[in-house]
Copies of this chain bind each other. A is one copy, B any other.
Amino acid sequence: MYMDLVVLRLGHRPERDKRVTTHVGLVGRALGAKGMLLASDDRGIERSIKEVTKQWGGNFFVKTGVNWREELKRWKQEGGKVCHLTMYGENILDVIGEIRAEAKKENARLMIVVGAEKVPYEVFEAADWNVAVGNQPHSEIAALALFLDYLHEGRELKAVFEHAELHILPKRRGKEVIVTRKE
């Protein structure tokens, strides 16, 4: 498993993308990423994801207002790998084996880049892999979710989050939530 698995969200426009970027962050958290870097200043997103983490546990971080060029450059200088999700890339079914093999190395670090509509060409060049989660237009939220699921081979779907206030008891019908208030 990647020791360090971070989502870099590009091209977020504060008005238009508020909910989509929030979903990107929540998917990252729920499916095993360590945190999200947001190349835009939007504290509302940071707040709503932190609120979810407070209630549902884990240590997911959100860092807003990052300079994505510098983050990418530093990540690579420190030996991290970069995977850019794009419908133009190689089909995930063809490359996920290679990415999983890389993930098993010691101190493996992976940054997953998720864009909005237009992604600068230098991102395609900087990436170790340009991965298409299907070569059809759909959704960066769906692409991230499927990528994380293929990477972790489903194990993330039963992950237990530490120091959570809320736990769901899975049920065939209805809702059951166990509440553990922290002092």
Binding site for B on A (CB under 8 A): 16-17, 19-20, 23, 26-27, 29-31, 52, 56, 87-94, 121, 124-125, 127, 129-130, 132-139, 141-146, 149, 154, 156-159, 161, 167-168, 170-177
Residues of B within 8 A of A129 (CB): 172
Alpha-carbon separation in the docked complex, A125 to B17 (Å): 34
Which label, helix, strand, loop or mixed, suits the secondary structure of the A interface? Answer: mixed
Cβ-defined contact, A56 with B136, below 8 A:
yes
A173 and B26 within 8 A (CB): no
Which of A56, A125, A156 counts the most B-chain CB atoms under 10 A from its CB? A56
- The answer to whether B146 touches A134, judged by C-beta atoms less than 8 angstroms apart, is no
Alpha-carbon distance between A70 and B115 when the two chains are bound, in angstroms: 39
Contacts of A174 in B (CB 8 A): 88, 121, 124
* Complex alpha-carbon distance, A17 and B23, angstroms: 12
Chain B residues near A172 (CB, 8 Å)?
Answer: 89-90, 129-130
Identity of the chain B residue whose Cβ is nearest the Cβ of A136 in the assembled complex: B30
Of B16, B29, B127, the residue contacting A138 (CB under 8 A) is: B29
Min C-beta distance of A127 to chain B, whole Å: 8
A137 to B172, CA, bound (A): 18
Minimum CB–CB distance from A166 to chain B (whole Å) comes to: 9
User: Which residue of B has the minimal Cβ distance to A156?
Assistant: B134
Are A139 and B170 in contact, CB atoms less than 8 angstroms apart?
no
Q: Could you tell me if B170 and A135 are in contact, using CB atoms closer than 8 angstroms?
A: yes
Check B157–A91 contact: CB distance below 8 A: yes
